[in-house]
Amino acid sequence: MRDALTKHHQRFFMLTRRSLIVSSIIGASLLARAYAEEKYPQGPVRLVVGFAPGGGNDILARILAEKLQQSFGKPFIVENRPGANGIVAIENVRRAEPNGLTLLVGPSSGMTVNPVILKSVSYDPVKDFEPISITGYFPLIIVVHPAVPVNSVAELIALAKAKPGDLTYSSAASSFQLATEMFAQMAKISLRCVPYRGSAPAINAVVANEVALNFGDIAAVLPFVRSKMVRALAVTTASRLESLPEIPTVAESGLPQFDISLWSGLFAPAGTPPNITAVLEKEVRRIVDLSDVKQRMRNLGIEPAGTSASEVTSTIKSELERFKQIAATAGITAEP
C-alpha cells in the first residue's frame, strides 16, 4: 500500500512538473509575442505595390512610407511587383508571414474588381487580409472632346438617348469601365467601350477625337482640361472636390445617387496580431490627416481618406455586391 502511494505521488509530481514546464514555455512565447508587438516593427517593413513606379498607388505608398519611417524609426520600403492586374503583389502579401513586416498597398481594382470580373481569383479580399485603412480616394472626371456638342451631364445623357449606342468611351482598365457602365445603367443609356492600355492612351484617344468621352483619373486628365483640349463635365464624387470647386458633380447634374471613386488601402496578411494592425491603423490615420500630406495628395488628384479598418471591410463588401450587378448587366469579363 505504501509503495503504491509513493508511486502515485511520484506520478503526480512528474505530471505537475510537465504542466509547469509547458505553461512556462507557453507563457514565455506569449510574453515574447507581446514584446514583439509592443516594439513593432522589429525590422524593415515592405509596402508592396502591384504597379510600376510613378502611378497613383506607388506615389501614395511612397508618401506613407516616408511618414511611417519617421514615426517608427525603422525603414519602410516600397516594393513594386507589377503584373496580372495587381495579383502578383496581392499574392505576395497573402503568403507573407503575418508579422506586420509585409503590407499591401491594395487598390480597389484588386480588392473589389478582380474578384468580380475574373473567372477565378486565388484570394479572398475579406478573409485573406487584415484591413488597416483606406488611405486615399481617386475621384474620376468625365471629359468629352470639344467637338461633342454637350456642356453638361444632362446634355450628354440627352445626346446618348437621341443616338443610342453611337457614343464611344475610352477605358484604361476594368475599374474605369465599371464606373462608366454604372453611369450608363443609372442614366438608362447605351455607350460603347473602346479599351486602351493605361490612362495616358485613354485620354489621348479623347484628345484625338477617336472616342467621344472618358471617365479618367484626375491626375491624367486635368492637364488636358486646363489646356482646353478636352471639356470637363463633372466629377464622380458625391460632393465637389476642394481642389476643383468649379466642376460640378454627376449627382448634382441629373443622377442624384451617383457616387464612385477608385481607392487605395493598406492591408496586412490574415492572422497579423490585432495589436499590430491597431497601431498601424492609428498611425496611418494620423498621417493622412497631416496638412502637408493632404496637400501633397490633392496636388496629385488624390482625396485624403484615413478610414477605420471596419470601414475598409464594409466598403469592400458593398462594392463587391454593386460591381457584380453592374458587370453582369454589362457583360464585363476579363483575364489577367
pLDDT tens for residues 241-270?
A: 988 999 999 999 989 999 999 999 999 999
Residue 150 has a pLDDT of 97
Cα–Cα distance for residue pair 227/176, rounded to 1 Å: 23
From residue 222, alpha-carbon distances to 29, 170, 187, 270 in Å are 54, 16, 25, 38
Q: How far is CA 326 from the centre of its chain?
A: 19
| pLDDT computed for residue 334 by the predictor | 72
Which cell goes with 48? Answer: 508592396
Rounded to whole angstroms, the Cα distance separating 306 from 228 reads: 33
pLDDT number for residue 38:
63
Q: What's the half-sphere exposure (Cβ side, CA atoms, 13 Å) at 110? A: 29
Three cell numbers at 54?
Answer: 510613378
How high is the pLDDT of residue 4? 47
Percent of the chain with pLDDT over 90: 82
Q: Which residues contact 16 (CB under 8 A, 6 or more apart)?
A: none
Question: What pLDDT is recorded for position 223?
Answer: 93
DSSP tag of 257: T
Question: At 36, phi and psi to the nearest 5?
Answer: -60, -40
Residue 10: pLDDT band by 50, 70, 90 thresholds?
low
Is the pLDDT assigned to residue 33 strictly greater than 70? no
In order of their start, the domains of the chain are 45-138+261-330 (3.40.190.150), 139-253 (3.40.190.10)
Contact 77, 64 (CB under 8 A): no
pLDDT for 20 beyond 70: no
Q: What is the number of other CB atoms lying within 10 angstroms of the CB of residue 33?
A: 13
- pLDDT score of 236 more than 70: yes
Question: Which sign does the torsion angle of CA 85, 58, 111, 116 carry?
Answer: negative
* Mean pLDDT for the stretch of residues 65-76: 98
**Proportion of the chain above pLDDT 70, given as a percent:** 88
State the Cα–Cα distance between residues 61 and 48, nearest whole angstrom: 8
Entry pTM = 0.85
Confidence check: pLDDT of 62 > 90:
yes
| pLDDT tens figures, 167-184 | 999 999 999 999 999 999
pLDDT for residue 134 is more than 70: yes
User: Residue 105 pLDDT more than 80?
Assistant: yes
Tell me how far apart the alpha carbons of residues 216 and 60 are, in angstroms, rounded to a whole number: 18
The answer on pLDDT for 12 being more than 70 is no
Residues 6+ apart with CB under 8 A from 123: 87, 90, 91, 94, 129
Please compute the mean of the pLDDT values over residues 192-210 and round it to a whole number.
95
pLDDT of residue 91: 98
Q: Would you say residue 61 has pLDDT above 60?
A: yes
Task: Assess whether pLDDT exceeds 70 at residue 28.
Answer: no
**CA-CA distance, 104 to 274, in Å (whole number)?**
16
